[in-house]
Amino acid sequence: MLRIKLDYLKELLDKKMGALSKIYNITENQNMILLSKESSPEANVFFAEMNKEKLHLIDEVIDLDRLFQSSFKEIEDKLDEAGKEYPETVKNMQTLINEILEKDISIRAWEQKNKEILDQIKKPSQKPVQKAGKNYILNRYKSNSKKDS
């Protein structure tokens, strides 16, 4: 019975890692779209669709976490026994948990980058529109060129 529970827990961890990998890829792709600064309707729809998929995957991860927690509680008091009887399985699960934590940290880093880019994209659009004369544009160009050097 213990072996079956351990295998089930490992299966849940594998599924969680799969879902997190998909979330990571989506978030990375969103970053590429944001960096391209393409604002076409197609790009916006694609970005929104990726968000929907990501939200679905996040819900899946939450469900997997709940299942893992409830199943883990059932064998929590048998962990010493599990470690002795099935050391390879327990070690594989520990490794997988560490990989999951690393993937989670990477996703959070990408999300933070994307948030910063979105904040920068939104800032200019919130400023009032003003007409700029030729001299104003030329001076702005010169000052931006000096910053880049």
pLDDT of residue 16: 98
pLDDT of residue 71: 95
Instruction: Measure the CA–CA gap between 63 and 71, rounded to whole angstroms.
Output: 12
The region that residue 62 occupies, defined by phi over 0 for left and psi between -120 and 50 for alpha, beta otherwise, is: alpha
- Give pLDDT < 50 ranges for the chain: 128-129, 149
For residue 31, how many C-alpha atoms fall within 13 Å in the half-sphere facing its CB?
A: 15
* pTM for this prediction: 0.77
Instruction: Measure the CA–CA gap between 52 and 121, rounded to whole angstroms.
Output: 21
- Assign residue 81 the CATH number of its domain: 1.20.58
The tens digit of pLDDT for each residue in 55-75 reads 999 999 999 999 999 999 999
pLDDT of residue 132: 52
pLDDT of residue 136: 59
Q: Please state the domain count of the chain.
A: 1
Residue type, 32: M
pLDDT of residue 91: 95
pLDDT of residue 120: 85
pLDDT of residue 36: 83
Domain that holds residue 45: 2-148
pLDDT of residue 129: 46
